[in-house]
Amino acid sequence: MKSYQIADLQRLTGINVHTIRMWERRYGLITPHRTQTNIRYYDDEQVKKLLNVSTLLHHGMKISRIAELSDTQLNSHIRDLGKVAEGDVICTGFINNLTASMLSFDEQAFEKSLSAAIVRFGLYEAMLRVFYPFMRNAGLMWVSNEAMPVQEHFASAVIRRKLIAAIDGLPISSRKSKTFLLFLPSEEWHETGLLFADYIIRSNGYKTIYLGQNVPIDNLLQIIEQVNPTHFLTFYITPQKADKVQAEVSLLAKNNKHSQILISGADAILQSIKKAKNVSFLTSPQDLIGFLKR
């Protein structure tokens, strides 16, 4: 069983520590476990319950009413929300539902939330408004030890299948002015962002050459003359030595002075990179869309 401190609950649910403790005392909403030394901690089921409570609060239900619900009734209300809500409120609900499903490895519930978000918003908007924020939060949970890597991998695998199916359904590119070479550098395996970038670029009619995960830079340099890309796009997410990342970026920029190198990933890694004239950072999917419009 994964254990969480009360500060973890605040980061995961957006409900502050003082409020959680007040709800425990006033409503008995959740009851913390205790270690042998009397330290409070919480489990996955309690995190899921607070995520559901947070979702209902965003939809306007009073905490006094929520506290009266049994777990079965609470789950029933969560299932019914997708039929009525709209805008940012429903996005928060989808994100919370995905997080709860990820923590318990509930693939059926995870798929249901994914499909409901896609039906409501379409894949593109669902990725921007639901999946991208969710995966960013999941990555932060992993880094801060609030989720096991395998939980994030479980979620990524399901989203990855959706993206690959959507990419396969796109027409062959018709715009020849830009060619994007997409890859992940050596020792980098987090492919969801790269797949979403591939979907964005292809859906805007541009050609992509998709190389996928764990591509050594020296191997990449060997094929550049053959494919002649106008843009490179890559992600640095997994913690790596700053000098290794800098050496790779500098080598790529130096050998491709007439191409634009687009880099996204963890803020800490991006901040360690000294940019060349032909290197730009992408901090969001909207930044990539901006490059496509130039």
pLDDT tens, position by position, for the chain (294 residues)?
Answer: 567 788 878 777 778 889 999 999 999 888 888 888 888 888 877 887 887 788 788 777 899 999 898 888 887 776 666 444 444 667 877 888 888 888 788 889 898 888 888 888 888 888 888 887 887 666 544 444 444 567 777 888 888 888 899 899 998 887 888 999 999 999 888 888 899 999 999 999 999 999 999 999 888 888 888 888 999 999 998 878 888 999 999 999 998 888 999 999 887 788 889 888 899 999 888 889 888 887
| Among 230, 292, 290, CA closest to 260 | 230
What's residue 219's pLDDT?
Answer: 87
Which CATH superfamily does the domain covering 173-292 fall into?
Answer: Cobalamin-binding domain (3.40.50.280)
What's residue 179's pLDDT?
Answer: 92
Domain boundaries, the chain: 6-166, 173-292
What's residue 81's pLDDT?
Answer: 60
Span 128-178, pLDDT tens digits: 888 878 876 665 444 444 445 677 778 888 888 888 998 999 988 878 889
| Among 109, 118, 63, 117, CA closest to 90 | 117
What's residue 2's pLDDT?
Answer: 67
Distance CA 190, CA 158 (A): 13
Q: Are 186 and 216 in contact (CB under 8 A)?
A: yes
* pTM of the predicted protein model: 0.68
What's residue 145's pLDDT?
Answer: 44
